[in-house]
C-alpha cells in the first residue's frame, strides 16, 4: 500500500505534483506587456532628460504632471480617488520601467507614489483620502515622506526628536527631518512625530503636513553623488500647526504605519533598482559586443565573458527574490507587516538588490574601461546612483539585523 503523507512525495522523475514549469517564476504576459509599454513611453518622455538632470541636479518643473500623463501616478490607488487601480506588484513594475530609463525619476516617483500616496491610501481616513489623493494622483501635488532626522537615521524610532503636542483642534509640531526625497518641492509630506515621548516607540504618530501650514519650511536641495535630479533636502517644523484630522491612523499608532510602510517600501523600491541594474547590464553587454581591442570585440575575451555571466546570475537572483517579496506584500492590509516572515523577506530582497545592483554596476563600468569613468556616460550615472540602494530605506547593515532578529525568534 502506498504510504500517504500530508506532504506530497516526488514521483520517479523527481517532480512534485506535475511538471516543474507549472510553478511560474516569470512575469505573466500581461505583466511583461505592462513593463514593456511603460518602459517605451517613459523613455520617449524622460530618456533625453537624464543627462541634464544629472549635470545640473535639475528636476523638470512639470515632472509630476509628465508622470501623470504617463499614467503612473497613484499606481496602487483605486480609480475612485484618481489612481490607476493596480495591485502593488503591478505598480512595482512601473518602478522597474522608470528605473530602466532614469534612476532620479524612479526615486522621486516612488517616494511620492509609494512612501507618501500608498501610505495615505492604506492608513488614512476617508477625509485624508478625499482631500489629498486626487491632487497627488493628477500630479498637481507632490508628495514626500519625512522619517529620518539628524540624530535618528538607523535608529529612526529611538532617536526621533520631532514632537507633536495637542493644542485645541491642532497639533503643534517642532523638530526637523533630513535627507527627505522630494522635500524641497513637496506640497504634502507624511511626517512622523512623537506625541508621547515617554512611551517610546508606542508614542509616535503620523501626520499629513501641507507646505502651506504655518511653521513649516523646506530647506534647499542637497548636492549628491547620484540620483542628482531627484531633489533631497531638510524639513523644519517650528510650532507648525497641523489639524487633528490630518493624523494618519490612531494617536500613538504611528509605529504600525511606519513599520508596515517600511516593509512595503523595501519590496516596492527593489523594483526600480532592478530596472536601473538591467539598464547597466544592457549597456555593458552592448559595449562588450562593439568595443574592439586586440583586433576583436572585447566580449570575445573570457575574462569579460566571465563578468557578463556573473552579472547575469546576480541580476536574475535579485529578480526572483524581489518579485517574491513584492508579491507577498500584495495582500498586506493597512498597518499589517513590520514583523515576522514578511519583515525578513522584504529586508532580504532589498539587501540582495542593493548589493548585487552595486556589484553589477561596478562591473558594467569596468567593462566600459576609461569611458565608464567619464561622468557624462549613462553607465557612470547609473553607477553613482546605485550606492543609494545600500543606504536608503534602512542600510545594508540594518537589513541584516532585521533578518537575523526575525530568524532568531523562530
How many residues form the binding site for ligand FAD (CB under 6 A)? 21
If the CB atoms of residues 146 and 337 are measured against ligand FAD, the closer one turns out to be: 146
Under the binding rule (CB under 6 A), the answer on residue 260 touching ligand FAD is no
Under the binding rule (CB under 6 A), the answer on residue 225 touching ligand FAD is no
Q: How far is the CB of 258 from ligand FAD (least distance, A)?
A: 10
**Interior/surface letters 269-306, b for 16+ CB within 10 angstroms, e for the rest:** bbbbbbbbbbbbbebbbebbeebeeeeeebbeeeebee
Phi, psi of 233 (to 5 degrees): -165, -170
Q: How far is the CB of 388 from ligand FAD (least distance, A)?
A: 5
Under the binding rule (CB under 6 A), the answer on residue 398 touching ligand FAD is yes
Under the binding rule (CB under 6 A), the answer on residue 268 touching ligand FAD is no
Q: Please, what is the Cα angle at 161 between 155 and 162, to 5 degrees?
A: 120
Interface pick for ligand FAD out of 110, 114, 148, 195 (rule CB under 6 A): 148
Using CB under 6 A, which residues numbered 150 to 169 contact ligand FAD? 153-154
The piece of 140-148, 196-204, 268-276, 295-303 that touches ligand FAD (CB under 6 A) is: 140-148
Helix/strand/coil (H/E/C) assignment for every residue in 23-47: CCCCCCHHHHHHHHHHHHHHHHHHC
Under the binding rule (CB under 6 A), the answer on residue 379 touching ligand FAD is no
DSSP one-letter string for 104-122: HHHHHHHIIIIIIIIHHHH
Q: Please, what is the Cα angle at 302 between 301 and 305, to 5 degrees?
A: 95
Cα(85)–Cα(244) distance, integer angstroms: 29
If the CB atoms of residues 226 and 299 are measured against ligand FAD, the closer one turns out to be: 226
Helix 254-290 with 302-329: angle, nearest 10 deg? 150
Cα(323)–Cα(102) distance, integer angstroms: 21
If the CB atoms of residues 371 and 391 are measured against ligand FAD, the closer one turns out to be: 391
162 within 8 A of 192, measured Cβ to Cβ:
yes
Is residue 265 part of the annotated active site? The answer reads yes
User: Which grid cell is 336?
Assistant: 499589517
DSSP 51: H
Q: How far is the CB of 202 from ligand FAD (least distance, A)?
A: 20
Cα(120)–Cα(372) distance, integer angstroms: 41
Under the binding rule (CB under 6 A), the answer on residue 276 touching ligand FAD is no
Under the binding rule (CB under 6 A), the answer on residue 394 touching ligand FAD is yes
Convert residues 317-356 into a mask of x (bound to ligand FAD by CB under 6 A) and - (unbound). Answer: ----------------------------------------
Under the binding rule (CB under 6 A), the answer on residue 146 touching ligand FAD is yes
Catalytic residue of the set 265, 278, 390, 406: 265
Under the binding rule (CB under 6 A), the answer on residue 180 touching ligand FAD is yes
Per the document, the length of the chain is 410
The piece of 146-154, 207-215, 253-261, 378-386 that touches ligand FAD (CB under 6 A) is: 146-154
Tell me which residues touch ligand FAD (CB under 6 A). 111, 144-148, 153-154, 179-181, 224, 232, 388, 391-395, 397-398
Catalogue the active-site residues: 265
Amino acid at each position: 500500500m502506498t504510504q500517504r503523507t500530508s506532504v506530497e512525495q516526488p514521483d520517479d522523475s523527481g517532480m512534485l505534483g506535475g511538471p516543474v514549469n507549472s510553478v511560474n517564476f516569470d512575469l505573466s504576459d500581461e505583466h511583461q506587456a505592462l513593463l514593456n509599454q511603460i518602459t517605451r513611453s517613459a523613455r520617449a518622455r524622460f530618456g533625453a532628460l537624464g543627462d541634464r538632470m544629472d549635470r545640473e541636479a535639475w528636476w523638470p518643473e512639470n515632472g509630476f504632471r509628465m508622470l501623470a500623463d504617463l499614467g503612473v501616478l497613484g499606481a496602487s490607488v483605486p480609480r475612485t480617488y484618481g489612481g490607476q487601480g493596480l495591485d502593488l506588484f503591478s505598480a512595482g513594475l512601473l518602478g522597474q520601467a522608470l528605473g530602466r530609463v532614469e534612476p532620479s525619476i524612479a526615486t522621486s516617483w516612488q517616494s511620492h507614489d509609494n512612501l507618501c500616496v500608498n501610505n495615505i491610501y492604506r492608513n488614512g481616513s476617508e477625509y485624508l483620502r478625499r482631500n489629498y489623493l486626487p491632487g497627488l494622483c493628477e500630479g498637481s501635488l507632490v508628495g514626500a515622506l519625512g522619517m529620518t532626522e539628524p540624530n535618528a537615521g538607523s535608529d529612526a524610532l529611538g532617536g526621533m526628536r520631532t514632537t507633536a503636542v495637542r493644542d485645541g483642534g491642532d497639533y503643534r509640531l517642532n523638530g526637523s527631518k533630513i535627507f527627505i526625497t522630494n522635500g524641497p518641492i513637496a506640497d504634502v509630506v507624511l511626517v512622523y512625530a512623537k506625541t508621547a515621548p515617554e512611551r517610546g516607540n508606542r508614542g509616535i504618530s503620523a501626520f499629513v503636513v501641507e507646505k502651506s501650514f504655518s511653521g513649516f519650511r523646506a530647506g534647499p536641495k542637497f548636492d549628491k553623488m547620484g540620483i542628482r535630479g531627484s531633489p533631497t533636502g531638510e524639513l523644519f517644523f517650528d510650532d507648525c500647526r497641523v489639524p487633528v484630522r490630518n493624523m494618519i491612523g490612531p494617536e500613538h499608532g504611528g509605529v504600525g504605519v511606519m513599520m508596515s510602510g517600511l516593509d512595503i517600501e523595501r519590496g516596492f523600491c527593489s523594483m526600480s533598482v532592478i530596472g536601473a541594474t538591467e539598464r547597466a547590464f544592457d549597456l555593458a553587454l552592448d559595449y562588450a559586443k562593439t568595443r574592439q581591442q586586440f583586433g576583436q570585440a572585447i566580449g570575445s575575451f573570457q575574462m569579460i565573458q566571465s563578468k557578463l555571466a556573473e552579472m547575469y546570475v546576480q541580476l536574475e537572483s535579485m529578480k526572483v527574490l524581489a518579485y517574491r517579496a513584492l508579491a507577498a506584500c500584495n495582500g498586506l492590509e493597512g498597518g499589517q507587516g513590520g514583523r515576522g516572515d514578511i519583515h525578513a523577506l522584504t529586508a532580504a530582497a532589498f539587501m540582495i538588490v542593493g548589493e548585487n545592483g552595486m556589484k553589477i554596476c561596478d562591473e558594467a563600468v569596468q567593462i566600459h574601461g576609461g569611458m565608464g569613468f567619464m561622468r557624462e556616460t549613462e553607465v557612470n550615472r547609473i553607477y553613482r546612483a546605485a550606492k543609494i540602494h545600500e543606504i536608503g530605506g534602512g542600510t545594508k547593515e540594518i537589513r541584516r539585523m532585521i533578518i537575523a532578529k526575525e530568524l532568531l525568534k523562530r
